[in-house]
Amino acid sequence: MRDYLDLLKTADKDAIRARRTETAARLAQPKKGFLRFREPYEALHHLQARFTDFSKDAVTIGRADELGETDLCLVRETMRAFMPWRKGPFDVFGVEIDAEWQSWRKWNRLLPALPDLTGKVVADIGCNNGYYMFRMLEHKPRYVIGLEPFLQHYYCFKTLRRMAGADELFIELMGVEDIPLFPTCFDVVFLMGIIYHRISPVEMLREIRAAMRPGGVLILESQAIPGEEPVALFPEERYAKVPGTYFVPTASCLRNWLIRTGYTEVEIFCSHPMSSEEQRKTAWMTFESYEDFLDPGNPTLTVEGYPAPLRVYLRANSP
């Protein structure tokens, strides 16, 4: 398999390769927490889909009639090992995976602002199971590199990617805090559903800009509070039951963060209220979901009494 690092002249290749070696040694240990996801990944090593379709709402990898009954059962069982599925939907050899999020809605909203990805080096920070990376393939990028620090999503993506044979897609078991390893590397960066989880969002935006090539484009999607003022809510403990939520900004606050960190041509291109049609409990994600996060008597508030979230989308350039 090709390595995207061969193309990235400015990346800190030694450090990235050292991290890979370290990660591989760590994950090779027979620990329960690793085996739980590594074994399902290894179980489907022999499967390669003949048919793929990344242009539809459900990312489709293989058709049911490509496999015999034993392999079909194995696929069904293995896909269940990666529960809860947060992002999707996927259709894997006819197994329909209805994830918590109807992620195609987010993808469709950002399409009008999508820069030309043809031949581009793209990063998807916090890529989860890679739903959006697969959808990007329709736009012919050179490479898409997902950064994802969680093992469940990392192995889930690797399993899907191998069956799909999508050679342009890569993943590193890393977080946004590792972005300084990639100076001046990316033409396009997606940062979606991440910024409100960061304790230093402004510093992160600065570091991401340093990872972008001149003229690069950032697509930023975030939870937001309603309002025109450039302010951010800082919850006492949780926001919509989610711990690890720090600054929940208004759209204009996000715009100001981008401007102050040196981005240009900053545009807010979409804003909409969240809904329990878009994020809900399914057979593949059986825990609480959006409607459980709101005040049952007043859906304009979260259970903590804060304003219920909007989702906002911004596009910005790195000069």
Ligand X SMILES: C[S@@+](CC[C@H](N)C(=O)[O-])C[C@H]1O[C@@H](n2cnc3c(N)ncnc32)[C@H](O)[C@@H]1O
What are the E-state strand segments in 182-256?
186-192, 212-224, 232-233, 248-249
Minimum separation from the CB atom of position 63 to ligand X (A): 26
Residue with Cβ nearer ligand X (49 or 270): 270
Bond prior to 235 in cis (omega within 30° of 0): no
Total residues binding ligand X (CB under 6 A): 17
Residue with Cβ nearer ligand X (149 or 183): 149
Minimum separation from the CB atom of position 73 to ligand X (A): 28
Out of 60, 102, 128, 250, which residue is the one contacting ligand X (CB under 6 A)?
A: 128
Residue with Cβ nearer ligand X (5 or 204): 204
Residue with Cβ nearer ligand X (54 or 93): 54
Residue with Cβ nearer ligand X (120 or 311): 311
Out of 84, 175, 183, 226, which residue is the one contacting ligand X (CB under 6 A)?
A: 175
Minimum separation from the CB atom of position 223 to ligand X (A): 8
Backbone angles phi, psi at 186, to 5 degrees: -110, 140
With contact defined as beta carbons under 8 Å apart, do 187 and 217 qualify?
yes
**The two structure tokens encoding residue 146:** 């997902």
235 binds ligand X (CB under 6 A): no
- Of 133-172, which residues contact ligand X (CB under 6 A)? 147-150, 153
Out of 5, 47, 156, 176, which residue is the one contacting ligand X (CB under 6 A)?
A: 176
The single-letter DSSP state of residue 242 is B
130 binds ligand X (CB under 6 A): no
Residue with Cβ nearer ligand X (76 or 206): 206
**The two structure tokens encoding residue 86:** 């947060």
CA distances from 263 to 179, 197, 317 (A): 17, 21, 5
Going by C-alpha positions, the residue among 296, 293, 295, 297 that lies closest to residue 278 is: 293
Of the chain, the end-to-end C-alpha distance in Å amounts to 33
Q: Which stretch binds ligand X (CB under 6 A): 16-24, 33-41, 124-132, 136-144?
A: 124-132
87 binds ligand X (CB under 6 A): yes
Q: How many other β-carbons are positioned within 10 Å of the β-carbon of residue 263?
A: 25
Q: What angle (nearest 5°) sits at the alpha carbon of residue 241, between those of residues 261 and 227?
A: 45
Out of 193, 201, 249, 309, which residue is the one contacting ligand X (CB under 6 A)?
A: 193
84 binds ligand X (CB under 6 A): no
Q: Which stretch binds ligand X (CB under 6 A): 59-67, 70-78, 174-182, 293-301?
A: 174-182
126 binds ligand X (CB under 6 A): yes
Parallel, antiparallel, or unpaired: how do β-strands 121-125 and 232-233 relate?
unpaired
Minimum separation from the CB atom of position 277 to ligand X (A): 16
Minimum separation from the CB atom of position 262 to ligand X (A): 21
With contact defined as beta carbons under 8 Å apart, do 48 and 61 qualify?
no
Residue type, 278: E
Minimum separation from the CB atom of position 194 to ligand X (A): 5
Backbone angles phi, psi at 41, to 5 degrees: -60, -45
The single-letter DSSP state of residue 314 is E
192 binds ligand X (CB under 6 A): yes
Q: What angle (nearest 5°) sits at the alpha carbon of residue 128, between those of residues 122 and 131?
A: 70
Would the CA dihedral through 276, 272, 117, 2 be positive or negative?
Answer: negative
- Of 242-271, which residues contact ligand X (CB under 6 A)? none
Binding footprint of ligand X on the chain (CB under 6 A):
87, 103, 125-126, 128, 147-150, 153, 175-177, 192-194, 221
